[in-house]
Structures are given as C-alpha cells and as structure tokens.
A and B are shown apart, each in its own frame.
Chain A
Amino acid sequence: MNKTLLFSVFIFTALGASAQRLIAKDAFIRFYSSTPMEDIEATTNTAVSVLDKTSGEVAFQVSIKNFTFDRALMQEHFNENYLESEKYPKASFQGKLVNPSAVKWGKDGVYSAHLKGKMNIHGVEREITTPVTFTLKSGQILLESTFYVQCVDYNIEVPTLVVAKIAEKIQVSVKTKYVPASK
C-alpha cells in the first residue's frame, strides 16, 4: 500500500460521489382520496428530488401550494384548512435505500427496493418505510413509489361535516425521472 495509491483512491471516491448525484426538477406527486361519496385527486409536477446512487440517499421537496385539484375551491380548502400551507409551505422526504445493493445502477432493468426515512408533512415529521421501484433504461432512471398517508398521523384535521368525503388514508403516488446533477 503506497501513499500515492491511497491518495488517488481517495480522490477518485470524492469525484465519484459528485458524479453519482442525480436530480429532478419536475417530480410528479399525486394525492388520491377515495370514498363512496367522492374521489378527490390532486397533482403536481413541480416537486424537486435528489438521488445519490452511491449512498442510496433520496430526498424530495414540494410546495403545498403547487398541488392542482379539479375544483379551485377544494384547492383553497386544502391550503387554507387542511395543510395550512401558510404555516407549513413545504412537504419533504429525506431517506435512504434500506438495501442499496438491490439496485444495479449500471444495468437496465426494473428493481424493487425499500426507502426508509423522515417524511415531513404539515409540520409533523415521521419515520416511514415505503417500497420503491427503479426502472433503468438506456441511461434513464425512473423512480416510482406508492404509499398511504393517514391524516391523523400528521395532525390534519378533517371536520365531521366532510368526514364521509375525505378518506382516512390518502394514497400518494410519486413518479420521478432523474437527470445528472451536473446539467
């Protein structure tokens, strides 16, 4: 083991790390609440995300105000009454792949893995684990994940008047296509 070798290994790792970062400025997030009385859907493709292939870290951030509903009034209520976006303008997730070796970044294919990390919605931070799928195809990376969020877990108060129209568990779907960070 000589100094030069060690040093070059070190430099290489450092350089490698920066090249392994991928970003997305147009990450897609969809909320879906389904009850016998009403289905409510909200979407946005303005979330931002960072993926670090080396460490298996993934982070997301989205402005609550950017979610679009079918009805403008629902959107207003969502911001004003439920998510209180004035007080809590953003939701975020920061986590790591539980089994980073499950994804072979150099090889095309569909890989299933689990993400574990901190979800922050409505000012409440919770530890969550969610299944995630990476689809790799000729240099493109697509992340997909679907999980459920319980309103009570994040102190989101649903008044008794509309309790039949809003599901207790809201389905959240995330779909992100990454591009290299250097761009």
Chain B
Amino acid sequence: MKKFFGIVLWFLSVSVQAQEEDLMKLLNAVEGPAPKEYVSATFKGSRVVNLQTNEMPARGVGQLIISHRFGTINKEPLYNFFGLDVAQMRVEYSYSPTGWFNYGWGRSSANKTYDAFTKVRLFRQGHGGGSPVGIVWYSSSNINTTKYSDGIDHYFSDRLSYAHELIFARKFNETFSMEVVPSLVHFNLVETPDVPNDQWGVGVAARYKLGNRTALTAEYLARAYRPEAFYDPLSIGLDVETGGHVFQLHVSNARFMNDPSWMMQTPGSWVKGDLYFGFNLSRVFTHKAPKKAQAPELL
C-alpha cells in the first residue's frame, strides 16, 4: 500500500512540473501564430537628402521640412565662410490621411518653384516572408514662377515640369538599408528642340546606422541624358535624430531642391569642388492621435 501511495505521489509531482511547462505552452497557444509583420524604419526621414525614401509620416501625422543649401564651399571659402553667407531654401508641409498615402506642398528658391506632391505606398517589405522590397511611388508637379525675360509670350503650361520616382527600398539588416529609384522628369518647356522633354534617371541611395540615433547616408542619381552643362547629383549626409526632429546634414553638388532641377540640372561638379553644405530639418505634428486601447471591465 505504502509503495502504491509513493507512486501516486511521484506521479502527482511530475504532473505539477509538466503543468508549469504546459502553462507557457497554453500561453503561446492562446496568443496564436504571430500576425504578418512588416519592416519599419528602413530610412529615418522621408528623404535621403533630395531623393525620396520609402518612408512617410504615419497616419494622421503632418510633417514640416525646412531645408537650406548654402553657397559653394570652394569660392573664397574663408571670405564667404564656406558658403554659409548665402542660402537657397525650401519649405514643405505634407500630411498622411492614411498610413499609405501622403500629400503635400513645397516652395523652393531655385526658379521660385512651387510644387505639389503625392506619395503612395504600394508594397511593404515583409518580415520573414512577404515582399523582399518596399515599393513607393512619388510624383511632384512643379511651377516655375520666375518672370520671363526673353520677350516671348508664354503659355502657363510652359512653367510646369513633373518628376516621378518609383522607390524600391530594402532594409537588409538593422544597420544597412538601400534603395534603387527609377526616375522620370518631364519638362513642358526645354531650351532647344534637341533637349528631350522626358529625361530618365536611376537613383541609388543607402543608409548605414552608426548608432540608435545617427546614420550615414548617401545618394546618387545617374542620368540617361547627359548634357555638358550638368552633372549627376551626389550627396553624402548624416542623419541625427533628436526626439521629434530629424536633422539631415550633408555635402552635395546639388544646390537646387525642387525635383526637376536637382535631378536633371545640377551645374556643380564634385571633381571641380563645387560643393555645398546643407541641411534638412523635419518636425512632425500629430493631427489625429491613434486610438487608445481600452481596459476590460466587469459586467
């Protein structure tokens, strides 16, 4: 009898031990399979420097970006304080009514250009399966508002130009992300008949995280139509994140900030040392806060 009792006791203790493991098993069973997850924060900002990234403000969030490009570094650098005496500027504000759509307006100094843009997320990079890249489409319409000095009567449409970017971005790991951006710029008016109205290019950009809040970035746009007066824009930047702000400091041969100009009409050359310091400063504003979770109550 004693022996039997002992066996039962042993059995009971085993079952208690198993129970503890069971509890975690049950917990995981209750939780169910993990939902489909997407990669986030491929880049820190919605732009690398000038080129768009696959990022955009979250649902219900507006973003203000103020950008400056200073004067050239290599022209009497000490006298001109490395170009900081003068600046081209751009201001833009955009808003995301949903998580996959963003629209906004901007004004850039170059050609006194006003622009309106939309950004649409088509695919998100999946986490452990799903799409290997995130795909975002960006388009901007630009109005050159400088006064004509050529004495010709112009149509309003002569002032318009358009830029399109299809962004294929991939976050390879926590520190390294890259994107390839086939781009098209359409100028309604070009200077001579042999200049194409449609000009193609392929942008390439990368981000390397130095720490949780700083990252090195670089972007380059290779153009198909290559007139002698213009060069491919190449920029190297540093992203610094401070709470609600992202500072993007950079050196670039592109001084213009409206899309058609910086993409296809960059007069500065890295080889000749026509470089410019610049920064983008972004700040987000929450228009609509996400819904809070509700605590359960007894009935």
Contacts and interface: CB of A to CB of B under 8 A. Distances in A.
A24 to B, nearest CB: 8
Given A48-B31, A52-B19, A159-B213, A72 B295 contact: no
Interface in A31-54: 41, 43-46, 48-50, 52
Contact of A28 (B37, B57, B295, B298): B295
Interface stretch (A76-84, A98-106, A122-130, A147-155): A76-84
Interface residues of A, number: 59
B174 A73 contact: no
A94 B249 CA distance: 47
B86 interface: no
B286 A71 contact: yes
B293 A142 contact: no
Judged by DSSP, the binding face of A is: strand
A68 interface: yes
Contacts of A24: 30, 296
Contact of A81 (B24, B60, B212, B298): B212
Given A6-B8, A43-B293, A59 B24 contact: yes
Contacts of B292: 41, 43, 68
A10 B12 contact: yes
Name, among A6, A26, A72, the residue most crowded by chain B CB atoms within 10 Å (CB to CB): A72
A82 B60 CA distance: 23
A70 B291 CA distance: 8
A48 B30 contact: yes
Contacts of A69: 290
B31 A135 contact: no
A142 B298 contact: yes
Contacts of B58: 72-73, 75-76
A63 B33 CA distance: 12
Contacts of A80: 40-41, 212
A171 interface: no
Interface string B100-134: 00000000000000000000000000000000000
Given A26-B296, A68-B293, 18 more contacts: A1-B5, A6-B4, A10-B8, A10-B12, A23-B30, A45-B294, A48-B27, A69-B290, A70-B286, A70-B289, A71-B286, A72-B57, A72-B60, A72-B61, A137-B298, A140-B298, A162-B243, A175-B295
27 contacts: A3-B4, A10-B12, A21-B26, A24-B30, A30-B293, A41-B292, A48-B31, A55-B16, A59-B24, A59-B27, A61-B28, A61-B31, A68-B290, A68-B293, A70-B286, A72-B61, A73-B244, A75-B58, A79-B40, A80-B40, A87-B174, A94-B23, A159-B212, A159-B213, A161-B243, A162-B243, A175-B295
